[in-house]
Amino acid sequence: MSPTSIAIVGFGKIARDQHVPALHDNTAFSLDAVASRNASLEGVAHFRDIQTLLDERPDIQAVSLCAPPQVRYRQACAAIAAGKHVMLEKPPGATLSEVEDLRAQAERAGVTLFATWHSRYAAAVAQARDWLRERHVTAVDVQWKEDVRRWHPGQEWIWEAGGLGVFDPGINALSIITAILPEAFFLTQGELEVPANRQGPIAATLAFSDRRGAAIRAEFDWRQTGPQTWDIHVETDAGPLALTQGGSCLRIGDEIVLEGDDVEYPGLYARFAELIARGESDVDVAPLRHVADAFLLGKRVEVEAFHE
Ligand code: NAP
Provide DSSP, 24-71: HT-TTEEEEEEE-SS---TTSEEESSHHHHHHH-TT--EEEE-S-GGG
Is residue 145 annotated as a catalytic residue, yes or no?
no
pTM over 0.95: yes
* 146-156 pLDDT, tens digit each: 999 999 999 99
The amino acid sitting at 296 is L
* Ligand 1 pocket check for 37: Cβ under 6 Å: yes
Residue 65 · residue 94 · CB < 8 Å: no
Letter string b/e over residues 176-215, b meaning 16 or more CB atoms within 10 A of that residue's CB:
bbbbbbeeebebeebebbbbeebebbbbbbbebebeeebe
According to the model, what pLDDT value does residue 212 have?
92
The alpha carbon of 230 and the centre of ligand 1 are apart by a number of angstroms equal to: 22
Stated as kind and residue range, the H or E segment containing 208 is: strand 203-210
Q: With the C-alpha atoms ordered 83, 85, 89, 93, is the resulting torsion angle positive or negative?
A: positive
The alpha carbon of 262 and the centre of ligand 1 are apart by a number of angstroms equal to: 21
Q: Which of 94, 96, 12, 29 is CA-nearest to residue 272?
A: 29
Go through the domains of the chain in sequence order and give each one's CATH number. 4-115 (3.40.50.720), 119-261+292-303 (3.30.360.10)
User: Rounded to an integer, what distance in angstroms lies between the CA atom of residue 206 and that of residue 296?
Assistant: 12
* Ligand 1 pocket check for 13: Cβ under 6 Å: yes
Q: Which of 22, 295, 31, 16 is CA-nearest to residue 166?
A: 295
Instruction: List, for the chain, all residue ranges whose pLDDT scores fall below the cut of 70.
Output: none
User: Rounded to an integer, what distance in angstroms lies between the CA atom of residue 207 and that of residue 188?
Assistant: 6
Residue 135 · residue 182 · CB < 8 Å: yes
According to the model, what pLDDT value does residue 231 have?
98
According to the model, what pLDDT value does residue 1 have?
78
* Ligand 1 pocket check for 24: Cβ under 6 Å: no
The alpha carbon of 68 and the centre of ligand 1 are apart by a number of angstroms equal to: 4
Label each residue of 108-126 as H, E or C: HHCCCEEECCHHHHCCCHH
- The residue whose CA has the least distance to atom 14 of ligand 1 is 67
* 264-303 pLDDT, tens digit each: 999 999 999 999 999 999 999 999 999 999 999 999 999 9
